[in-house]
């Protein structure tokens, strides 16, 4: 950063709040640093309103407070914390330790923390702040690696409160940060989870941390060990989610869904505690709703894994309970889900715009051929081939025509549900083979074939709002991949067949409410299906 710019960092206005000032400096910093360099450092800055909301989650009763702000940026989170102390007329003593390793942002951070100190001191609070310009993880590794006994009487500093919007970027598995915390890593590590775990290690007993992070740690293989470690060492008390995924960090194109969590360091992790889940439409926190749930509804253990599920209504909880009680998975029913083998750019030489007799060809099915619960061959999309040649070279790409359940791997923007399933019916498909494109998964029975009723039963279940809500509680992804479907509980096969028969014979194959009604009727569910689309 140029020297003349550093000299020009503006002072806080007389009437300007502390967090508003930090926000102004964040904007100034963002306008003078390229978005590539910000992305590289994992810099997605917290808006003022989100900072204030995060701070409002702390229970502050102490007179002497030690606050940690790892990855502080311009210090907006510390500033919001100070503002809360001011608004509550607190007196006492505050020490802020801020970590920030971007030399370009440090002068802004210094201005903000300096301003916090003078404002709080004017109001009767003693303030000390320390800025550490080193890597937060490397600098504090001993908190994670040393057991209490190994500190040799030299007492580590522990914190009452930790607030952070940690950086978000993938780390090399060989990086020194990842090596220090390798017991938490199941795949490609992301620095945000390491910030969370280290912070949990730096809390006093009963201390509290509030973090805004991507939702990805709540489910999925990569964060399995992290979840196990974190939930053993801290107790989640609050989770906030945003209905609109894009809006939170609007200056930066963040597509990840973000959540705010508050966790407490507690010696005895009780089983039956409560968790408050709140939801707001956007970062302005209008239309905020709150739900108090049992921790078991959120922290869910299955097959040696542990998940954090986020139901947002009593109906969501009912749905989790119902689906958790279903006894089977695809595998237990002798079924498998696979990904369509035709990757169009690799198979280009075999693809044809239209079906032809010479050379012999068969239909190539894409997501756009799935309509309601049918496969519709007459739907064409520009630049997408409709057929694939049949030859010895394409043998491995083609499937024998049988009854299959096709499931979209990606959801389109206009699609309300995440899951979209159709049935390829052998009796209505006048070909011996078929090509299934790579954006489509298909459910099949290895060594056999699905019956019509089984295929319709499974497709109907996948298309219900009940299953959609189940997946939404489980993760924030817009796509549902094969692994998710493999672990989805399913009712027993007799009931699946009954559902399939009722839907197939109704011939309307309608989605949404009708399917939910049929399924609730057959399975004897007490869920009020009328409320599902509300």
Q: Which residues bind ligand SAM (CB under 6 A)?
A: 41-46, 71-73, 76-77, 99-102, 105, 135-137, 165, 167
User: Please, how many CA atoms are within 13 Å of residue 154, restricted to the half-sphere of its CB?
Assistant: 6
Report which of 426, 417, 508, 527 is spatially closest to residue 462, judged by C-alpha positions: 417
Residue 167 or 457: the one with the smaller Cβ distance to ligand SAM is 167
Task: Supply the minimum distance, in Å, between the C-beta of residue 107 and ligand SAM.
Answer: 13
Question: Which phi and psi angles does 443 have, rounded to 5°?
Answer: -100, 130
What is the distance between the alpha carbons of residues 512 and 462, in angstroms, rounded to a whole number?
Answer: 10
Q: Decide: helix, strand or coil at residue 153.
A: coil
C-alpha–C-alpha distance, residues 295 and 236, integer Å: 8
CB of 208 to ligand SAM, least distance (A): 17
Nearer to ligand SAM, 182 or 506 (CB): 182
Instruction: Report d(CA 66, CA 505) in Å as an integer.
Output: 67
Nearer to ligand SAM, 102 or 257 (CB): 102
- The residue among 40 and 302 lying less far from ligand SAM, judged by its C-beta, is 40
- Please report how close the Cβ of residue 43 comes to ligand SAM at its closest, in angstroms: 4
Q: How far is the CB of 78 from ligand SAM (least distance, A)?
A: 8
* Burial status of residue 501 (CB atoms within 10 A of its CB: 0-12, 13-18, 19 or more): middle
Residue identified by tokens 């930790």 is 162
Other Cβ atoms less than 10 A from the Cβ of 416: the count is 11
Shortest approach of ligand SAM to residue 165 CB, angstroms? 3
Cα distance between the two ends of the chain: 52
- Residue 447 contacts by C-beta under 8 Å, 6 or more apart in sequence? none
Q: By C-beta, is 111 or 527 nearer to ligand SAM?
A: 111
**Is 139 or 338 the residue whose CB approaches ligand SAM more closely?**
139
CA atoms within 13 A of residue 26's CA, in its CB half-sphere: 23
* Closer to ligand SAM by Cβ: residue 1 or 449: 1
Distances 429 to 27, 363, 375 between C-alpha atoms, Å: 59, 10, 9
Tokens of 339: 């990904």
State the minimum distance, in angstroms, from the CB of residue 72 to ligand SAM.
5
Kindly state the smallest distance separating residue 210's Cβ from ligand SAM, in Å.
11
Closer residue to ligand SAM in complex, CB, 164/422: 164
Distance of closest approach, residue 134 Cβ to ligand SAM, in angstroms? 7
**Min. distance of Cβ 261 from ligand SAM in angstroms?**
15
Both tokens of 530, joined, read 């009328």
C-alpha–C-alpha distance, residues 453 and 493, integer Å: 10
Longest dimension (CA), the chain: 89
CB contact at 8 A, 234 and 266: yes
How far apart are alpha carbons 161 and 210 in whole angstroms? 8
C-beta of 101 vs 190, nearer to ligand SAM: 101
CA atoms within 13 A on the CB side of 182: 7
Interatomic CA distance for residues 426 and 442, integer angstroms = 14
Identify which of residues 73 and 500 has a Cβ nearer to ligand SAM in the complex: 73
Least spacing, CB of residue 141 vs ligand SAM, in Å: 12
Smallest distance, ligand SAM to C-beta of residue 163, A:
8
Q: Given the complex with ligand SAM, which of 196 and 406 has the nearer CB atom? A: 196
């Amino acid at each position: 950063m140029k020297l003349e710019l550093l000299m020009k960092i503006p002072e806080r206005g007389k009437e300007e709040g502390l967090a508003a000032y930090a926000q102004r400096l964040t904007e100034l910093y963002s306008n003078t640093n390229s978005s590539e360099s910000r992305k590289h450092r994992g810099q997605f800055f917290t808006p003022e309103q989100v900072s204030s909301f995060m701070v409002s989650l702390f229970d502050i009763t102490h007179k002497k407070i030690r606050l940690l702000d790892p990855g502080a940026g311009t210090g907006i989170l510390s500033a919001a914390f100070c503002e809360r102390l001011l608004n509550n007329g607190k007196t006492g003593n505050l020490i802020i330790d801020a970590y920030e390793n971007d030399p370009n942002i440090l002068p802004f951070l210094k201005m903000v923390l300096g301003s916090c100190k003078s404002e709080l001191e004017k109001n009767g609070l003693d303030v000390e702040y320390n800025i550490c310009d080193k890597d937060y993880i490397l600098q504090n590794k001993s908190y994670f690696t040393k057991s209490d006994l190994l500190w040799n009487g030299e007492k580590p500093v522990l914190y009452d409160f930790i607030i952070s919007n940690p950086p978000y970027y993938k780390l090399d598995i060989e990086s020194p940060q990842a090596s220090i915390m390798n017991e938490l890593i199941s795949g490609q590590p992301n620095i945000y989870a390491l910030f969370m775990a280290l912070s949990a290690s730096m809390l006093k007993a009963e201390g509290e941390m509030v973090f805004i992070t991507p939702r990805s740690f709540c489910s999925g293989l990569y964060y399995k060990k992290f979840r196990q470690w974190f939930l053993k060492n801290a107790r989640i008390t609050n989770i906030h989610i945003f209905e609109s995924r894009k809006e939170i960090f609007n200056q930066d194109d963040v597509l990840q869904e973000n959540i705010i969590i508050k966790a407490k360091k507690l010696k005895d992790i009780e089983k039956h505690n409560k968790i408050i889940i709140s939801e707001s439409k956007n970062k302005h926190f209008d239309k905020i709703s709150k739900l108090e749930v049992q921790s078991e509804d959120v922290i869910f253990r299955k097959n040696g894994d542990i998940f954090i599920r986020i139901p947002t209504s009593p109906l969501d909880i009912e749905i989790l309970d119902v689906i958790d009680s279903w006894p089977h998975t695809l595998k237990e029913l002798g079924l498998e889900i696979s990904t369509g083998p035709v990757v169009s750019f690799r198979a280009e030489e075999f693809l044809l715009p239209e079906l032809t007799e010479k050379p012999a060809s068969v239909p190539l099915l894409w997501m756009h051929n799935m309509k309601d619960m049918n496969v519709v061959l007459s739907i064409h999309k520009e630049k997408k081939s409709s057929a694939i040649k049949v030859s010895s070279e394409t043998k491995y790409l083609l499937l024998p025509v049988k009854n299959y359940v096709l499931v979209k791997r990606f959801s389109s923007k206009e699609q309300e549900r995440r899951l979209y399933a159709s049935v390829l019916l052998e009796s209505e498909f006048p070909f011996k083979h078929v090509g299934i494109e790579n954006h489509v998964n298909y459910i099949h029975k290895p060594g056999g074939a699905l019956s019509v009723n089984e295929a319709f039963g499974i497709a109907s279940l996948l298309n219900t709002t009940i299953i959609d809500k189940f997946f939404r509680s489980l993760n924030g992804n817009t796509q549902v991949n094969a692994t998710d479907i493999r672990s989805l509980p399913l009712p027993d096969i007799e009931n699946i067949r009954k559902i399939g028969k009722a839907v197939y014979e109704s011939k309307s194959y309608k989605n949404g409410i009708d399917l939910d009604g049929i399924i609730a009727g057959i399975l004897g569910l007490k869920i009020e299906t009328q409320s599902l689309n509300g």
